[in-house]
A = this chain, B = another copy of it.
Amino acid sequence: MAGKWPIALDAMGGDRAPSEIVSGGKKAVSDFGLSVILVGDPNEINNSGGPGSLPVIPASEVIAMDEDPAKGVRTKKDSSLVRCAEAVRDGKAKAMVSAGNTGAAMASALFRMGRLSGVSRPAIASPLPIPGHTPTVLLDSGANAECQAEWLVQFAQMGAVFSRVRYEIERPRVALLSIGEEPTKGSPLIKETHKMLAALGPSSGFDFIGNVEGRDLLDSVADVIVTDGFTGNVALKTLEGGLKFVMKTVLGAMSATDEAKAAAEVLLPYLLPVATELDPETTGGAMLLGVDGVCIISHGSSSATAVVNALKVADELVERDIVAQVAAAIKS
C-alpha cells in the first residue's frame, strides 16, 4: 500500500519551477511507478504543461528562494512548502520533496511535522558524491549556524543511521571535520565533541575515526562527516563551486581550437560518467534528519532528472522506515 501513498512534491520551489519540477514529478510516475501529489498554484501548474494524471494540493503562495525562511513560513500559511509539510503531518503524503528555499523547507518541516522526541536540533545530511564509492554523508550542511557539542553528537548518530539505511553501510565510519587530525586541533566546540564521540563505545552502532580535514571530503576516508551547519555549508558550497569551476575551465580549454575540440570529442565518453557522478543532480538531494517525517531538499537548480532522483530517494527512505530508525538511535 505504501506505493500508493503519494510523495508531496513542492511544484513551486526551485530556480526552474514549476515546469521542470512538474515534469520531473510526471516522469517519476510514468517511468518509475512512484505515486506523487503536486503542491502549488493550480494556474501556474496548468501554464507549465499541466499536472497530467497527478493530483494537486492547491497552495496560493510561494516562499521565494531568497526570502527570510522563518518569516516566510510564519506569514505564508498557504505556501506550497507549508502545505507540503502539512500533507505529511496529516498523513496525506508519506514524504515531501522540495527544490525551494532550503531554510524555509527546513522550517516548514520542523514546525509542521515536529521534532522527533529527544532530538535537540534537526540537521541537513548532504551526500557528497565520490565516483567509485558510496557517497560520504556531510551533516549538518546548513540547518544550524551555531551548534553545541551535544547536538554534534546527535548529528553523528543520525548521520550513521542515514548512511546505514540509504547506503547500506553496516557500521559507518564517522569523522569530525576539523583543521588537523589530532584530537587537540580545532575550535573548543570540536575538541569537546571529539571527547564525547570518543567516549561513546561500540554500542553506538558506528565507529568514530577521529578528525578529518577539508581535503578529505572526497577521499572516502569516512562514511559520515560531522560538522556545525556554518562550516558544513561553507565546505559544501566551496566544493560545489570548485568542481564547477574546474569543469568550466576544462571545457573551455577543450573548445579553444578545432584541434582541441576534436580531441575532446574522443575524451568525452571517458569524462562524462565521472561528471555525471559528481553532478549534484545525481545524488537525489539532502535529507532533513530529526523531524517526524521524510523531507528531501533538492538543489535549487534542480532539473526534472534531479527531481526524479529526489523522489526515488524519498520513496526508498520511507520504505526503509528511516524516521523510526533515527528516532530509535536518538532514544537509545
Contact = CB atoms under 8 A, between A and B. Distances in A.
A245 interface: yes
A273 to B, nearest CB: 8
Contacts of A231: 230-231, 234
A244 B215 contact: yes
A239 interface: yes
B233 A235 contact: no
Contacts of A216: 241
Interface in A100-153: 131, 142, 145-146
Interface residues of A, number: 60
A179 B233 contact: yes
A182 interface: yes
B215 A238 contact: yes
Contacts of A90: none
B230 A214 contact: no
Interface stretch (A47-55, A155-163, A251-259): A251-259
Contact of A146 (B187, B227, B229, B271): B187
A64 B186 CA distance: 19
A190 B185 CA distance: 22
Given A214-B241, A242-B242, A253-B274, A145 B263 contact: no
Interface of A: 66, 68, 131, 142, 145-146, 177-179, 181-182, 184-188, 190, 213-219, 227, 229-231, 233-247, 249-250, 253-254, 256-257, 259-260, 262-264, 266-267, 270-271, 274, 278
